[in-house]
Amino acid sequence: MERRLRDMLVDVLSGLGISAGNIEIEVPKDASHGDFSTPVAMVLSKQLKKSPKMIAEDIKNRISDSNIFDSIEIAGPGFINFRFSKKFIVSQMKELMSGGDRFLTENIGRGKRIQIEFVSANPTGPMHLGHGRGAAVGAALANLLSAAGYSVEKEFYINDAGRQVKMLGHSVFAKYVDELVNKGHSPYDPSWKTGYPFPEDGYRGDYVEELAKEFKDEYGERFVAREFDEVSETVIDFAYRKMLDLIKKDLADFGVHFDTWQSEKEIHEQNEVQQAIDDLRGRGFIYDNDGAVWFKSTEFGDDKDRVVVKNDGDYTYFAPDIAYHRKKILRGFDELIDIWGADHHGYVPRMQAVIQALGHPKDSLKVILVQMVSLLKAGRPVQMSKRAGEFITLREVMDDIGPDTTKFLFLTRRSDSHLEVDIEVAKAQSSENPVYYVQYAHARINSIFAKATENSPQSSAGSRDLTDFNGELFNDEEVKIIKKMLLYPMVFKNAALAREPHRITFYLQEVAGMFHPYYHRHKVVTEDTELTKARLALCYAVKTVLRHGLGILGVTAPEKM
């Protein structure tokens, strides 16, 4: 619907010899201002040195097709308001019904390759709610962009090298030794009776003890008298792999799937970190100073240059990140999207500097920041500390309120707004939750069709063409609902362009908010076969849109509830 109007306006303006840039088309808040409205005449006023109203008149006079519009009015300071004819609305509705995805979506990606990296939780513990939010947003965004014609790859970056996993291994090792020593199983060194020293910044959750037990089951007493450094590789690998398995399981149960899992360790092993630094050096963005190696990120707007190799010869954490992003670029993606916790926002400039230093435009890396999730329990904030092992996991919440509700919760907010989740409320919400409102509309429609089939099997969906109905029978309320359905392509396109899946969520709530009252007021399946056909068609259109939208969000569209 919006597409048709846009094409028309572009034609008209070029007919008037005006090269219009981006024509704004909007849905007026006030229905008396028509179905669509454009301020384009006002925007052009300065450039053309004519009054907005005169320009609006010129545009209006050039639009000839009266079958499409009931009225075109010039209002206010120069808005042009369009109201579509019922005939056009119905014809569009039929296209929606038969066209499916082709009608609902728009191919704005044209096969461009996008990689979305998200979650990438350190394999040092279970995922918390913040990770869940990232997972929900990333997966929905991937669905959205891939429906919009992009070729999307979803990647999880595994931080399996470096300090964090080492610390996990160390923590597990300490618990492992303790476990054996406490049970008198240490035949080697009596001095350890006091226990193996637990690392200062070690991980302390219950899961660490669990890992220690599993490690003991696997390796017995073999390592009990050793120093951590001697056996670190075995312990670290064992621990983080277990954690990674857990993360994978949680994600799978959450309904989030990845195409690729990139290991940081592998990047080191392939010598890609050094290659990346050499590459940047070759491009003139690396220099040596004070015994360290620096990246000239200030060249691209960062606050200060960043060290990549410390004067003790070790890489900083930043170095493998450079290599990782270089690798992404070398793999030929047209656009990279990173979804990070908002606490990492300080790294955006330096990462974009890397992208530019490697010869790519700044905006070929888009970083979406997902704000932290703060937890409340019955209105009181819950303090969370990963170190102390006190935090609410995604698993707990997901098991309590279900993956659909959890995802919906995360997708009803802009990703960069702070999110408060009250565990008690979220649990209690189980039957008064927005997600059910939307899903229920879908399930209801399904049972209407079941009823229709029961009444008259030969005229049920599937056995006849649902688009065969008389659109003149629609009342005002029905036309309003149909118009709302016809807005889906625009909402979809704008959500994809803005990379903001939450727009779909809000739209779906509005759709359900129109359908439930309608359902209550009007019986769909009646003795009047013609009216029934028309209303079933409307239901089908609503169902089509709900299904598609929920699909983007990664939320199920149940047939029954």
Partner RNA sequence: GCGCCUGUAGCUCAGUUGGAUAGAGCAACUGCCUUCUAAGCAGUGGGCCAGGGGUUCGAAUCCCUUCAGGCGCGCCA
Among 443, 485, 511, 537, binds RNA (CB under 7 A): 443
- The nearest distance, CB 383 to RNA, in angstroms, is 11
- The nearest distance, CB 472 to RNA, in angstroms, is 21
The answer to the question of residue 432 lying near RNA (CB under 7 A) is yes
Q: Which stretch binds RNA (CB under 7 A): 109-117, 178-186, 309-317, 327-335?
A: 309-317
Q: Which is nearer to RNA, 216 or 444 (CB)?
A: 444
Among 206, 217, 229, 314, binds RNA (CB under 7 A): 314
Find out whether 170 and 199 touch, Cβ atoms under 8 Å.
yes
The answer to the question of residue 18 lying near RNA (CB under 7 A) is no
Distances (CA, A) of 97 to 30, 280, 525, 537, 543: 28, 53, 19, 8, 10
Residues 253-292 that bind RNA (CB under 7 A): 289-292
Q: Which stretch binds RNA (CB under 7 A): 133-141, 145-153, 169-177, 519-527?
A: 519-527
Report helix, strand or coil for 373. Answer: strand
Find out whether 276 and 322 touch, Cβ atoms under 8 Å.
yes
Among 10, 20, 27, 231, binds RNA (CB under 7 A): 27
Strand pairing class (380-381; 36-38)? unpaired
The answer to the question of residue 476 lying near RNA (CB under 7 A) is no
Tokens of 33: 């201002």
The answer to the question of residue 32 lying near RNA (CB under 7 A) is yes
What is the side-by-side strand order in the sheet with 306-309?
286-289, 292-295, 306-309
Residues 33-52 that bind RNA (CB under 7 A): 33-34, 37, 39, 42-43, 45-46
Strand pairing class (36-38; 79-84)? antiparallel
- The nearest distance, CB 219 to RNA, in angstroms, is 26
Find out whether 206 and 389 touch, Cβ atoms under 8 Å.
yes
Q: Which is nearer to RNA, 149 or 162 (CB)?
A: 162
Residue 505 CA to residue 525 CA, distance in Å, equals 29
Alpha-carbon torsion (267, 271, 273, 277), positive or negative:
negative
The answer to the question of residue 388 lying near RNA (CB under 7 A) is no
The answer to the question of residue 523 lying near RNA (CB under 7 A) is yes
Residue 349 CA to residue 298 CA, distance in Å, equals 9
Residues 142-181 that bind RNA (CB under 7 A): 159, 162-164
The answer to the question of residue 530 lying near RNA (CB under 7 A) is no
Binding residues for RNA, rule CB under 7 A, total 89
Q: Which is nearer to RNA, 328 or 413 (CB)?
A: 413
Backbone angles phi, psi at 532, to 5 degrees: -60, -45
Q: Which is nearer to RNA, 327 or 503 (CB)?
A: 503
Q: Which is nearer to RNA, 153 or 422 (CB)?
A: 422
Residue 294: name the closest of 303, 302, 285 by CA.
Answer: 285
